[in-house]
Structure 1
Amino acid sequence: MSDTDGKKPLGLGGAPRSGQVKQSFSHGRTKSVVVETKRKRVVVPAKPGAAGAGGAGGGSPSLGDPSKRPAGISDAEMERRLAALRAAKAREAEDAERRLAEERQREEDRQRRREEIEAKEREDRAREEALRLKAEEEERAARAAAEAKAAAAAARKAEILGTRSRASVQAEEKAAEVAAETAAAAAAPAAAAPRAAAADDSRTGGPAKPPLAQRKTDREREERDRGNKTKGDDNRRAGKLTLSAALEGEGGRTRSLAAMKRKQEKARQKAMGFGQKAEKQVREVQLPETIVVSELANRMAERAADVVKSLMKMGMMVTMNQPIDADTAELVIDEFGHKAVRVSDADVEQVIDTVQDKAEDLQPRPPIVTIMGHVDHGKTSLLDAIRQTSVVSGEAGGITQHIGAYQVSAANGAVISFLDTPGHAAFTSMRSRGANVTDIVVLVVAADDSVMPQTIEAINHAKAANVPLIVAINKCDKPSADPQKVRTQLLQHEVVVEAMSGEVQDVEVSAKTGMGLDKLLEAISLQAELLELKANPERSAMAAVIEAKLDVGRGPVATVLVQNGTLKKGDIFVVGEQWGKVRALINDRGETVTEAGPSVPVEVLGLSGTPSAGDVLNVVDTEAQAREIADYREKAAKDKRAALGAATTLEQLMAKAKADQDVSELPIILKADVQGSAEAIVQALEKVGNEEVRVRVLHYGVGAITDSDVSLADASKAPIIGFNVRANAMARSSAQQKGVEIRYYSIIYDLLDDIKQAASGLLKAEVRENFIGYAKIQEVFRITGVGNVAGCLVTEGVARRSAGVRLLRDNVVIHEGTLKTLKRFKDEVKEVQSGQECGMAFERYEDVRAGDVIEIFEREEIQRSLA
């Protein structure tokens, strides 16, 4: 079919629509343009329930009728769009329903809040009403009581003035008492009424009105009260007008009934002879060396103002907060009639339990065994073999530098506490502390080295402490071992072993192979049985500090050995100048325990500071007692140090200044890891030096090197010695800026050697004179511009220009100096040999004569060192 048939052309959207658009250009030009417009396609969703041709489209006519469907839309796409439309409508319905439910919930919340506010307002109104009723009732009761008191007072006045009889006065007093009781009885139901009203209000939701009978009774009571008041006023105004009443006036203050009764009682007591003043109570006043005035008044039970007044009479202008000495306080106590009892500040330590234990309370305890001996004789290795651990590898240089405390169990089940003390000579004080807390000493002697100096010292410590000795002859596995030689040498020091018919047990052992260890433990158990060691575990703990250190993260830590009682977590204790509360207890295996009994070594955490090794730890009741004892000990130690360092007389001051001037000092600052090592190093350094030079330890402490140590070293120009410690970052930076030298050591040998070498540098060099020749003056010549020149003959040795000379006349030295010139003929020479003639002139000396002898010598400086 062609277009000429008059029919419309085929197309999807029908014929296009045309329209005109007017375009505007510059300079007022316009143009009309024909444009094609497209119609907007509108998709109308199918009505629900409408039947469609397809049936599956939910009644959509466009789904069932493809002719009415938009172009390019498939059945699946149309179904998807209709499903999305239905889901959107369902969501809208759900949202509307949810909003409606939320609105209902909000309305219910608002209603509930309104009801709560109304209920609270009703309760407040009921409470206010109850309080008002209570106040009115109390006011009525107070008025009734006041009127009763006024009536009684008026009656008493009338009796005194003689206008009324005693009987009438007593009757009115009785009436006043009855009125007061009535008022109190009326106040009781009045106080209960508000509570009942409030309860009724809370039940009914509003203030409850009193019943009619109750209101009628209240009105009658108010009328009766008004009538009584009028009648009381009339009675008070009635009667004879007296001078006192006129002066007092109607509105004057009247004396209360209680005051009148007190006055009567006082008069009655005076009439019966009981009016004498009570005898003063005499008290015993504890009087320390100094006491504050207010505390003195408190102990005497006197007013502080009276004590101050008494002191002012003595000429002392003091206040109640100022301290006074014991002599002045004793005068004040005597003046007030009390008895003074002098006490010392040391009495604060009496709180430490010193009660003797009863025999039935004592129980067996493990023995405390100290291992002693010379350095490198195998003490720690022997203990390692017993404990089956390795401690030597952790000690610097393979020597023990700390006191270690351990507890082991023998094969027979017996528990033994061991103390491992260093054997080096610098640790003598540490060894002595170990001997003071021990029960048995095991003396370790190497079989190949025999008795050495520190072995002898250990024997002396054991004898001084009166402790039994057991000799362990170690290193018996070596081919060069000679145990018999050890036994023989011990005889020289009064140690007779059982093999030599003595009483001291000796055991041949080997820490390397384990030989004889069972016999050693058996010997220790046997010795402990003989000693019958017992302690009371139920009393307050007492322990000895074996070692103390400042641990990073844990603070001050003390290794203690409990000697008596049981140390528990939470105990408050005082140790030396420090105090604390046990925060944690750690045994020798690193385990945290809650308590430690007798002979148990533990580490204690919770100290206020680092104590000294050897201090005694005592448990007290309160923190106040512990702090007071620690403060007293600190003050006593400070006073003792001040007394030792102070020169009391002018002669002593001058002698000390002269001695300090003659002696060169090497100042150092020492920081160590533990207290025992620090003390041992200080004692060793004090022995370094002689009468010309000495080592002065300005400061020593425990812990890392800090910035304050660097500041002290910079101010005193001293090096810092760190033993097993290091400087923190701030201290290192500060030391580098200030040029302070910090030296680190882990072995005491190296430290002492370096300090000796440094101290040797302060020694003055030794000057030696070497005689090199003699010359005899033959003749003296006078030369202009030079002075007297001696013509000499070198008789011995050689004469040098640079040497020193002495002029001898009749073998007496009359001058010592240097040569100004040395000539051979007319030439200046450096030296002249023996047998030759020369000319000599002395520097700034011309009294030379023929026949004098010139002694020629050279000086040589030799650097000295400390032994």
Structure 2
Amino acid sequence: MSESKNPGDKTISVGQSKTLTLKRPVEHGTVRQSFSHGRSKSVVVEKVKRRALGPGELKEAPPAPIVRQPPPQTVPSRPPPPPQRPTGVVLRTLTEDEREARIRALTQAKGREEEDRRAALEEARRRAEREAIEQAEREAAEARKREEEDRRRREDEGKRRAEDEASRRLGDTRPAVAGREPTPPLPRGEAGPGTPTAIVARPRPSGSRPPVLLSPTPPASATPKPTTTAQPSTPAAARPAQTSEDETPRPRRPLGAGAPARPALAPKPTKTAGDARQRGRLTVSTALTAGDERTHSVAAFRRRVQRMNRGNANEPRERLSREVVVPETITIQELANRMSERAVDVIRMLMKQGQMHKITDVIDADTAQLIAEELGHTVRRVAESDVEEGLFSSDDPDDTLVPRPPVVTIMGHVDHGKTSLLDAVRKTNVVSGEAGGITQHIGAYQVTSPLGGKITFIDTPGHAAFTSMRARGAKVTDIVVLVVAADDGVKPQTIEAINHAKAARVPIIVAINKVDKPDANPQRVRTELLQHEVVVESMGGDTLEFEVSAKVGTNLDKLLEGLQLQSEILDLRANPDRSAEGNVIEAKLDRGRGPVATVLVDRGTLHVGDIVVAGSEWGRVRALIADTGEHIKEAGPSMPAEVLGFNGTPEAGDRVAVVENEARAREITEFRARQRRDLAAARGAASGRSLADMMRDLKEGAGKKEFNLVVKGDVQGSVEAIRGALEKLGNDEVTARILHAAVGGITESDITLAEASKAVVVGFNVRANKEAREAADRASVEIRYYSVIYDLVDDVKQAMSGLLAPTLREHRLGEAQILEIFDVSKVGKVAGCRVVDGVVERGAFVRLIRDSVVIHEGKLSQLKRYKDDAKEVGAGQECGMSFESYQDMRKGDVIECYRVEEIRRSL
């Protein structure tokens, strides 16, 4: 045994005849590879056997098979070199990365084996469950089969007993077949030898076919007597006897004297489950039930029940009469669902009436009622407005009413001191925060009178544009305080306030303010009030009056005492222990708090968490804020409070009510929103012009010019007042068109609308956000901000005046007469004239008059005095004239010169 001198050669050899190596055993094989175009090639493949590893050894990845190309089939030019001695395999240790990779591979392989094992267990469990279900179905089928056999056996037993009873009654002397006792002989004359006798087989075993009753034929010598039955008996030869498999057919005894015994027919062979013709495909169910008799499946039983019930389907079923609720409009599908009828039946009935409809078409309530009544149902008609039933309940019982504070509205002309008077009563300074020194919002406050009771005040603006605010304040009030300045007297808004109070049928208390001024004249105010049927107490009337001064606080306590006394006379009461009802005094959109509504509760108590409905908006009360700014938990009767939680900004003047759940609130608000949309659409259709009207206006040139506006305000009342003031502007030629008016800041969508319609955006006490300002700069849309309604109305009026066509006024300058016509090269005809009257100016308008008829109107292009151009020529002087684009001048024509002045118009 020797080692090689080569250090890399690890071959161990013994002698020289046989080499001992450490290489793995290799098996050789040949594989034939096929290529395109019919080419193929043989390849030698070596397969290396893998050594089985012990528990602690790591597995190596199997080496890839070595593909060796066969040597070419050509004759070598030189002898091949001698084969080299194999050098063996060089072993090396595994690195840490390779060891970890192999460990991970082993772990993943074990995990996959575990998952496969769990999947196999789960599959086995499911297979066992399926087999258990199939076994239960088979047992149920067998139980049903046994029940059927028992039922048939009982029926056969009953038939046999009935036949025995009939045989005993007829006195049959012939012995019974199948082991029965012979019946006693019949009396003479009751039955002949041809009387049929039923042959009943013995009770059949389980699995055999039911027996067939046979009627033997009478002998040839006997003549059967006529019977009363309609159907004659069938010969026995036509109906072979059926016997069970375990019985042997026995010959029957002769029925007559010379009748030989007829052998029974051989039993018909039954088909077993082992029959190859019936076995068919080998399945799991057939393999499990190979030895059982074939039975009907559950599906076959269901099909049999369906066939039995199919005949009953055509029978007219009993109709159920239902009470069908029919609204004003309903679809055919919904009507069919409410009646539990098919929609095709409803459509068929409509087609009989000559109406062609689809399943989604809408029909009116009358047609729906006819259809429902014809189908046998009762109809209950309901209106869409029934959703509001019970929203505002009736009057409360007298025993539940308790006294409540009075609601007092301060009304009067602008700048007569209404807000200053209320500030003096409340000891606040609200007027200092008003823009322009005038009140432009409606406010609600609650104060305590000197007598101890509470009084709720509502302050209304005095500007002419805020008519709706004053009307709204008069509707929700109990007492109206009419403030009149002693130095100014009765003004238009004072008269309007009197009319609102009379329309609301509430008492009036006159407060003559500013009596501390030197030029104050309270008697003048009393006298002017007489013209409007307001008679104060000092003049023999029943209207209370007080001379007060908001600046120095004169007689303010007397005014409060008078209000308290008037409320006691009115005996104001309300029920606080019920759901709240009230009115929206004002509404606004606060960027931080969302929609905020100032609500004055009429009766009941409003709590935090109540679900309220106001117009087409609803919400859950998140917070209640008093007029002092503090949060409160509830608001009782005659108490104003700011309500947070509406999903949208309600309209000022909407009624507020508490409902029981959100579904009712959504139903009511959706109905009101739909009504509002329909009303707006109808109003838009009525105000719109038809195509014929527009064509006529274009033909006559009488189309109106529109000044488009987008109005955004801080509160609902201000927006309403601005809309009303702007709609009053305009005349037959120009009008203001408000495209959009809403509460809240100016947004980017408002700029987009203004850009599309070429409108001006007006913001009243609101500002545009950054995105809106950038969009306005890009689109060149003008945004105007206002805080006083005077300025807004004046600017819009002035802008609308610019759209009016100016008035043209003609001013006569002079008159000239043509003496001669000259032809000048490169100029044309020039008229030699003498100025008869006035002056003639270059560039003025002229008329060419011939025989007292105006021939031409145009402009004077050239005016020359001798050879020089002249600006004007006076009376008695001669000059040369030429007209623009006109050459037909004649001697003796008269030229009248005049100037046109444009006068700007205003609204």
What's the TM-score, normalizing by structure 1?
Answer: 0.68
Give per-residue Cα distances to partners, 1:450-487, cap 9 Å, x unaligned.
11121111111112222211110111122221111111
Which structure: greater helix fraction?
A: 1
> Among 403, 411, 415, which residue is 1:364 paired with?
403
Q: CA 1:164 to 1:527, structure 2 compared with 1: closer, same or farther past 3 Å?
A: same
Map of 2:558 onto structure 1: 519
Instruction: Note the 1:668-817 alignment, pairs <5 A.
Output: 668-777=709-818, 779-785=819-825, 788-809=829-850, 811-817=852-858
The answer to whether 1:471 aligns with 2:510 is yes
2:387 to 348, 355, 362: 348
Cα distance in 2 for partners of 1:685, 1:796 equals: 51
Q: Deviation at 1:760?
A: 2.3
Tell me if structure 2 keeps the 8 A contact 1:351–1:620: no
Does residue 457 (structure 1) correspond to residue 496 (structure 2)? The answer is: yes
1:153–1:255: 8 Å Cα contact kept in structure 2? no
Structure 2 counterpart of 1:555: 594
- Report the Cα distance in structure 1 between the residues aligned to 2:623 and 2:841, rounded to whole angstroms: 80
1:600 to 626, 633, 639: 639
Structure 1 residues 332 and 253, CA gap change in structure 2 (3 angstroms):
farther
- CA apart distance, 1:236: 6.9
**Distance (whole Å) between structure 1 residues aligned to residue 204 and residue 408 of structure 2:** 99
Please report how far the alpha carbon of residue 602 of structure 1 lies from its aligned counterpart in structure 2 after TM superposition. Answer: 1.0
Contact 1:448 1:481 in 2 (8 A): yes
| Alignment partner, residue 177 of structure 1 | none
Q: Classify 1:526/1:607 alpha carbon distance in 2 versus 1 (closer, same or farther; 3 Å).
A: same
1:547 Cα deviation from its structure 2 partner: 0.5
| Alpha-carbon distance in structure 1 between the residues aligned to 2:204 and 2:337 | 51
Contact residue 392 and residue 581 of structure 2 kept, 8 A = no
Letter in 1 for 2:618: W
Letter in 2 for 1:637: R
Range with bigger deviation, 624-633 or 375-384:
624-633
SS in 1 for 2:772: helix
* 5+ residue gaps, structure 1: 1-131, 168-231, 271-275
2:620 corresponds to which residue?
A: 581
How much has 1:548 moved relative to structure 2? 0.5
Deviation at 1:632, TM superposition (A): 1.7
Match of 2:151 in 1: 156
Secondary structure in structure 2 of the residue aligned to 1:662: coil
- Please give the per-residue CA displacement for 1:392-429, whole angstroms capped at 9, x wherever unaligned: 12221221111101111111122211110000111111
**Change beyond 3 A, Cα 1:549–1:498:** same
Matched, 1:282 2:277: no
- Measure the CA separation in 2 of the matches of 1:559 and 1:456: 27
Show the 5 A alignment for 1:225-304: 240=211, 251-253=294-296, 280-303=319-342
Flag the 1:322–1:165 CA change in 2: closer, same or farther, 3 A: farther
Q: Using the TM superposition, give the Cα deviation of residue 285 of structure 1 relative to its aligned residue in structure 2, in angstroms.
A: 2.2
What's the counterpart of residue 399 of structure 1?
Answer: 438
Maintained 8 Å contact 2:821/2:891: no
Q: Is the 8 A contact 1:693 1:759 kept in 2?
A: yes
2:7 aligned partner = none
1:89 corresponding residue in structure 2: none
Partner of 1:845: 886
Out of 861, 864, 867, which is 2:902 matched to?
A: 861
Q: Does 1:421 align with 2:421?
A: no
Deviation at 1:318, TM superposition (A): 7.5
CA contact (8 A) 1:807 1:855 kept: yes
Per-residue deviation at 1:166? 8.8
Task: Name structure 2 gaps, 5 residues minimum.
Answer: 1-127, 163-202, 214-241, 245-267, 273-292
Query: Judging changes above 3 Å, is the alpha-carbon distance between structure 1 residues 427 and 148 closer, same or farther for their aligned structure 2 residues?
Result: same
**Aligned mates of 1:684, 1:338 — CA distance in 2:** 56
**C-alpha distance in structure 1 between counterparts of 2:565 and 2:746, whole Å:** 48
Deviation of 1:523 after TM superposition, in Å, equals: 1.6
Output the CA distance in 1 between the equivalents of 2:700 and 2:731: 13
Would you say 1:496 and 2:491 are equivalent positions?
no
Deviation string 1:82-110 (CA, Å, 9 cap, x unpaired) is xxxxxxxxxxxxxxxxxxxxxxxxxxxxx
Task: Give 1:735 shift.
Answer: 2.3
Within the candidate set 404, 419, 428, 1:380 is matched to 419
Tell me how far apart the structure 2 counterparts of residues 654 and 608 of structure 1 sit (CA, whole Å).
44
Change over 3 Å in CA distance of 1:165–1:378 after alignment to 2: farther
1:690 deviation in Å?
2.3
Classify 1:145/1:790 alpha carbon distance in 2 versus 1 (closer, same or farther; 3 Å). closer
Distance change in 2, residues 1:835/1:540 (3 Å)? same
Deviation readout 1:562-617 (Å, 9 max, x if unpaired): 12322222222221111111121111112222222221111111111111111111
Give, in angstroms, the shift of residue 678 of structure 1.
Answer: 1.0
Cα RMSD (Å): 3.9
CA-to-aligned-CA distance 1:648-670 (integer Å, 9 cap, x gap): 85444546777996322222222
Contact residue 159 and residue 166 of structure 1 kept, 8 A: no
Structure 1 pair 423/798, CA: closer, same or farther in 2 (3 Å)? Answer: same
Q: TM-score, normalised by structure 2?
A: 0.66
* Alignment partner, residue 474 of structure 2: 435
Cα shift readout 1:740-765 (whole Å, capped 9, x = no counterpart): 22222111112222222222222223
808-817 or 600-609, larger mean C-alpha shift: 808-817
CA distance in 1 between counterparts of 2:862 and 2:600 reads 80
CA contact (8 A) 1:780 1:788 kept: no
- The question of whether the paired residues in 2 share the 8 Å contact of 1:158 and 1:164 is answered with no
Structure 1 pair 751–630 and aligned structure 2 pair: CA distance change class (3 A): same
Inter-partner Cα distance in structure 2 for 1:659 and 1:555: 50
Residue 671 of structure 1 and its aligned partner are, at CA, apart by 1.2
CA contact (8 A) 1:353 1:540 kept: no
Separation (CA, whole Å) in 2 of partners of 1:655 and 1:327: 42
Residues 324-379 of structure 1: per-residue CA shift (max 9 Å, x gap): 55465445424422244443322222252343433333333222111001111110
Asked if the contact 1:150/1:254 (under 8 Å) is kept, the reply is no
Alignment check: 8 A CA contact 1:163 1:240 kept: no
User: How far apart, CA to CA, are the structure 2 residues paired with 1:636 and 1:353?
Assistant: 19
How many angstroms apart in 2 are the aligned matches of 1:153 and 1:165? 18
The offset of 1:816, in angstroms, is 1.6
Q: Quick one: which amino acid aligns to residue 449 of structure 1?
A: D
Aligned counterparts of 2:690 and 2:795: Cα–Cα separation in 1: 38
Deviations 1:185-208 (A, max 9, x none): xxxxxxxxxxxxxxxxxxxxxxxx
CA distance in 2, matches of 1:248, 1:714: 92
Does the Cα contact within 8 Å between 1:681 and 1:748 map onto a contact in 2?
yes
| Structure-2 residue corresponding to 1:482 | 521
Aligned-pair CA distance for 1:784:
4.9
Could you tell me how far 1:550 is from its partner in structure 2?
0.5
Q: What percentage of residue pairs aligned between the two structures are identical?
A: 58
Which of 582, 602, 614 lines up with 2:653 in the alignment? 614
Alignment check: 8 A CA contact 1:766 1:861 kept: yes
Once the two structures are overlaid, the 10-residue window that deviates more, 443-452 or 818-827, is: 818-827
1:302 Cα deviation after fit: 3.0
Q: How far has the Cα of 1:388 moved from its partner?
A: 1.3
Contact 1:351–1:625 under 8 Å retained in 2: no
Please tell me the residue identity of whatever aligns with 1:691.
Answer: D
- C-alpha contact 1:153 1:254 (8 A) present in aligned 2: no
